[in-house]
Amino acid sequence: MDAVKLAELKRFISQCRSNPSILHNPSLAFFKSYLQSLGARIPPDPKTDKVRDDMEDTKEHIDTKKHDTLGEDDAIVESDIELDDSDVVEPDIDPPQKMGDPSVEVTEEMQDAAQAAKSRAMTAIFEGMAFSCCELDEAIDHITEAIILNPKSAIFYATRASIFVKLKKPSAAIRDANAALEINPDSAKGYKIRGMARAILGHWEDAASDLHVASKIDFDEEIGLVLKKVEPNARKIEEHRRKYERLRKAREARKAERERQRQSEAEAQESLSALKDGEVIGIHSVGELETKLNAASKTSRLTILYFTATWCGPCRIISPLYVNLAGKYPKVVFLKVDIDEARDVAARWNISSVPTFFFIRNGKEIDKVVGADKNALESKIAQYAGSA
């Protein structure tokens, strides 16, 4: 067979390996049928699978949105990102390439031989600029020889990585770029080639990061060209991430607010259970008074604190009115303290005469009535209960 045609066939086979989807091209239907007749397994058409997956994803997305509309969790379904991945390939699965032994003591003769091997590799690369696989494979062999002879040269690894990029073998290129950067963390070519390899894999953010580092160390036009494709994709991914991060934070804030509301409602309900609508509640200790005042504050209720004594004549006259007012204003908390029974409470409030009525809101005294003044008592209750 003609050597040129054989080289073209090898290049075509290499392209099929790196991108099997080309076998679904209608113009290659005869070749696809031939391969199947030999029992070959043809990978499914990713475009057909994508359409099917998109239909399933759309149905799932609609079902999820319908479910989320009814629920309170507000689950977030992320939309797809439209990226330019026309040149993206699957990771190469070839066995890892030969790497040098960093513990080897490199002599001057080995360095010279390594440089000679590199020169042969560069010649083969130049001859393979038309992407002839034969010349590029030959270049790989020569630069590998240079790496074995001098495994401490970052430029050798970076050069082989660049050849793997030309061969569309990004995984191998990344391994070599990592080796170059381990030897020389400031290797511009190491960052550049790794960025290009990551771009081939569609790892846009990592690719952009490497290429920006490379451009800071030693910018060249090729880096700028690759960045023109990489940066838009990386920005879209970053904007997508920020958008959904904001949505997730808003969702968490809503959940936290709902939890606070539930907690507040539970505390309010518990507080209400400690209060008796339309009744006068007897207080027998400071602790009991604090409990009732806290319950009233949590429910934003006006509280009347009535100090009395069994021996007090005016108290006996006004007490029935106090009971009636409790029934008339069921949302007002009516408390009653016998100063002889609860001396600690009377002392805390500095009671010097009875009857005395304190008007309390949110734990603070806002007014009081001293003496059995029925009109003043009822008037102030109506005033403050109405402003609640």
Q: What is the pLDDT of residues 96-147, one digit of tens each?
A: 999 999 999 999 999 999 999 999 999 888 876 644 567 888 999 999 999 9
Domain extent for 374:
280-385
CA–CA gap between residue 116 and residue 252 (Å, rounded): 63
Give tens-digit pLDDT for 184-198: 999 999 999 999 999
Give the span between the Cα atoms of 161 and 176, in whole angstroms: 5
Q: Which own/partner pairs from 14-21 qualify as long-range (CB within 8 Å, at least 24 positions apart)?
A: 14/133, 14/167, 14/168, 15/168, 18/89, 18/90, 18/92, 18/168, 18/169, 19/89, 19/90, 19/168, 21/45, 21/46, 21/47
**CA–CA–CA angle 73, 74, 77 (5° rounding):** 125
Q: Does 286 or 67 have the greater pLDDT score?
A: 286
How many domains does one find in the chain? Answer: 2
Closest by alpha carbon to 163, among 188, 134, 186, 184? 134
State the CATH number of the domain containing residue 308. Answer: 3.40.30.10
Is 254 inside any structural domain? yes
126 and 264 share one domain: yes
Q: Do 264 and 307 have their domain in common?
A: no
Q: What is the CATH number of the domain that holds 223?
A: 1.25.40.10
- 226 and 357, same domain (yes or no): no
The Cα–Cα gap between 172 and 178 comes to: 10
Contacts (Cβ under 8 Å, ≥6 apart) of 247: 76
Higher-pLDDT residue of 21, 199: 199
Considering the entire predicted model, what is its pTM?
0.54
- C-alpha dist (Å) from residue 190 to 5, 100, 101, 179, 309: 35, 17, 19, 8, 93
Q: At 288, is the secondary structure helix, strand, or coil?
A: helix
Residue 132 confidence (pLDDT):
57
Q: Where are the alpha helices (DSSP H) in the chain?
A: 3-18, 29-37, 46-70, 108-127, 133-149, 154-166, 170-183, 188-201, 204-218, 221-274, 286-298, 313-328, 343-348, 374-386
One domain for residues 251 and 343: no
Q: Which residues pair with 308 in a beta bridge?
A: 338
Q: Hey, what's the torsion of the CAs at 100, 104, 110, 112, to 10 degrees?
A: 70
Both 247 and 150 in a single domain?
A: yes
Domain boundary (272, 292, 307) is at 272
The answer to whether residue 312 is catalytic is yes
Round to whole Å and give the CA distance between 258 and 72: 9
Based on the domain organization, do 264 and 349 belong to the same domain? no
133 is catalytic: no
What average pLDDT is seen over the chain? 85
Nearest to 305 by CA among 334, 330, 279, 326: 334
pLDDT: is 196 or 42 the higher one? 196
Least confident span in 132-141, 176-185, 304-313? 132-141
Locate 382 and state its tokens. Answer: 């109506």
Both 257 and 286 in a single domain? no
- Residue 80, burial from CB neighbour count under 10 angstroms (0-12, 13-18, 19+): exposed
- Under the banding of pLDDT at 50, 70 and 90, the label for residue 69 is very low
CA 115 vs. chain centroid, Å, equals 49
Q: Are 89 and 235 contained in the same domain?
A: yes
